[in-house]
Chain A
Amino acid sequence: MLFNKTLYSFIKGAQLKFFVIIFLGLLASVTTILIALLLSKIINGVFLSSQTLQDVSTLIIILIVLAVLKSVLIWSQQFFSASLVSFIKKSFRKKLLAQIESIGPLALKSERTGEITNTLINGVDKLEDYFSKFLPQMFLAVLIPILILIFVFPLDWLTGIVFIVTAPIIPLFMFLIGSIAEKMNKKQWQTLSRMSAYFLDVLQGISILKLFNRTNEVIKKIDQVSNSFRIKTLNVLKVAFLSALVLEVTATISVAVIAVEIGLRLLYGNFAFIDALFILVIAPEFYLPFRMLGTSYHAGMEGLAAFENINNILIYKNITSSKQLIKHNNFNFDINTPIIIKNLSYTYPGRETKALDDISITIQPKKITALVGTSGAGKTTLLNILLRFINPTSGNIYFGEDDLQSINNETWRNNIAWLPQNPHLFSKNLLENIRISKNKASIEEVIEAAKKANIHNFISSRKDEYNSAIGESGAKLSGGEIKRIALARAYLRNAPLLFVDEPTADLDPIVEDEIIKDMYKLFSDKTVLIIAHRLNTIINADNIIVMKQGKVIETGNHNELILKNGYYKKLLYAHGDIL
Chain B
Amino acid sequence: MIKVFFRIVSLGKEYKYWMLLAALIGFLTVGSGIGLMMTSSYLIAKAALQTPIYQLQVAIVGVRFFGISRGVFRYLERYISHNVTFKLLAKFRVWFFTALVPIVPSKTIDLTSGDLLTRSIEDIESIEHIFVRVISPPFIFVATAILMFALLNIFSITYAILFIILFTGSAFAIPYLTFLLSNKIGKKIVLLKSQLKEFTVDSLQGISELIFYGQKDSWENEFNKIQDQLINAEYRMNNIKSLHESLTGLAMNLTVAMMLLIAIPDVVTGALNGVYLSVISIGIMAAFESVAQIPQAFQYLSKSTEAGKRLFDIVDTHKNEDEINLTESAITGYNLRLENISFTYDTNNNALSNISFRINEGERVAIVGASGAGKSTLVNILTKLWDYNTGNIFIGNENYKVLSSTNIRNIISVVPQKVQLFTGTIKENLLIAKDGVTDSELMRVLSEVGLDSLINSLPDKLNTNIGELGQKLSGGESKRLTIARALLRNSPIIIFDEATSHVDNLTEKKILETIKELPATKSVIFITHRLNQMDMFDNIIVLSNGRIVESGTHTELLAKGNFYKKLIDSQNQNITLLS
Contact = CB atoms under 8 A, between A and B. Distances in A.
Interface string A77-98: 1110111011001100100010
Contact of B204 (A100, A233, A253, A571): A100
A225 to B, nearest CB: 8
Interface in A459-511: 472-473, 475, 478-479, 505-511
Interface residues of B, number: 167
B306 interface: no
A75 B63 contact: no
Interface stretch (A64-72, A146-154, A173-181, A303-311): A64-72
Interface in A44-58: 46-48, 50, 52-53, 56
Contact of B70 (A120, A252, A512): A252
B469 to A, nearest CB: 12
Interface centre among A108, A238, A536, by most B CB within 10 Å?
A: A536
B574 interface: yes
B474 interface: yes
A503 B282 CA distance: 78
Contact of B45 (A90, A273, A376): A273
Interface in B189-223: 193, 196-209, 211-216, 218, 220, 223
Interface string B269-301: 000001101100110010000000000000000
A127 interface: no
A535 interface: yes
Interface stretch (B88-96, B332-340, B359-367): B88-96
A46 B211 contact: no
B557 to A, nearest CB: 14
Given A204-B117, A259-B44, A520-B577, A113 B204 contact: yes
A387 B274 contact: no
A248 B28 CA distance: 14
Contacts of B514: none
Contacts of B111: 203, 206
A437 interface: yes
Contacts of B216: 101
Interface stretch (B139-147, B148-156, B436-444, B498-506): B498-506
Contact of A212 (B75, B218, B432): B432
Contacts of B502: 505-506
A508 B368 CA distance: 10
Interface in B34-71: 36-37, 39-41, 43-48, 50-51, 53, 56, 59-60, 63-64, 66-68, 70-71
A565 to B, nearest CB: 18
B50 A93 contact: no
B207 A267 contact: no
Given A534-B505, A536-B575, A576 B246 contact: no
A204 B78 contact: no
A6 to B, nearest CB: 22
A10 interface: no
B71 A284 contact: no
Interface stretch (B16-24, B393-401, B408-416, B516-524): B408-416
Given A426-B206, A577-B533, A479 B68 contact: no
A328 interface: no
Contacts of A423: 209
B235 A43 contact: no
B200 A120 contact: yes
B143 to A, nearest CB: 19
B74 A244 contact: yes
Interface in A108-128: 108, 110, 113-114, 116-117, 120-121
A281 B285 contact: yes
A529 B404 CA distance: 53
B94 A509 contact: no
Interface stretch (A213-221, A330-338, A357-365): A213-221
Interface in A273-329: 273, 276-277, 280-281, 284
A444 interface: no
Contact of B231 (A86, A257, A351, A513): A86
A161 interface: no
B213 A437 contact: yes
A394 interface: no
Interface centre among A86, A266, A420, by most B CB within 10 Å?
A: A266
A210 B405 contact: yes
B154 to A, nearest CB: 18
Given A60-B261, A74-B242, A108 B44 contact: no
A52 B264 contact: yes
B420 A110 contact: no
Contacts of A424: 205-206, 208-209
A69 to B, nearest CB: 10
B267 A47 contact: yes
Interface centre among B68, B193, B385, B420, by most A CB within 10 Å?
A: B420
A82 B243 CA distance: 12
B571 interface: yes
Contacts of A172: none
Given A256-B67, A424-B209, A478 B199 contact: no
Interface string A233-255: 11001100110110011001101
Contacts of A420: 208-209
B246 A74 contact: yes
B104 A210 contact: yes
A97 B220 contact: yes
Contact of B506 (A284, A374, A478): A374
Interface in B456-504: 470-472, 474-477, 489, 498, 501-504
B157 interface: no
B239 interface: yes
Given A78-B246, A211-B409, A510-B570, A256 B370 contact: no
B166 interface: no
Interface stretch (B2-10, B129-137, B179-187, B250-258): B250-258
B505 to A, nearest CB: 5
B285 to A, nearest CB: 7
B121 interface: yes
Contacts of B214: 410, 413-414
B311 interface: no
A252 B67 contact: yes
Contacts of A116: 200, 204
Contacts of A427: 198-199, 202
Contacts of B261: 53, 60
A79 to B, nearest CB: 6
B194 to A, nearest CB: 9
Given A267-B51, A276-B44, A47 B74 contact: no
A393 interface: no
B79 interface: yes
A238 B75 CA distance: 9
A571 to B, nearest CB: 7
A276 B48 contact: yes
A277 B41 contact: yes
B193 A539 contact: no
Contacts of A574: 505-506, 508-509
B250 A68 contact: yes
Interface stretch (A137-145, A192-200, A396-404): A192-200
Contacts of A537: 574
A509 B205 contact: no
Contact of B423 (A201, A267, A375): A201
A67 B251 CA distance: 9
Given A207-B385, A277-B278, 10 more contacts: A67-B250, A121-B200, A208-B420, A244-B74, A252-B66, A259-B40, A418-B212, A505-B502, A574-B509, A578-B572
25 contacts: A60-B257, A67-B257, A71-B247, A75-B245, A97-B220, A101-B216, A117-B201, A200-B118, A201-B423, A226-B90, A234-B86, A252-B33, A259-B44, A263-B60, A264-B53, A266-B47, A277-B44, A427-B199, A436-B209, A506-B502, A506-B529, A516-B574, A571-B506, A577-B534, A578-B572
Name the 8 nearest CB pairs between A and B, nearest first: A78-B242, A540-B578, A256-B67, A508-B370, A226-B90, A67-B253, A424-B206, A249-B71
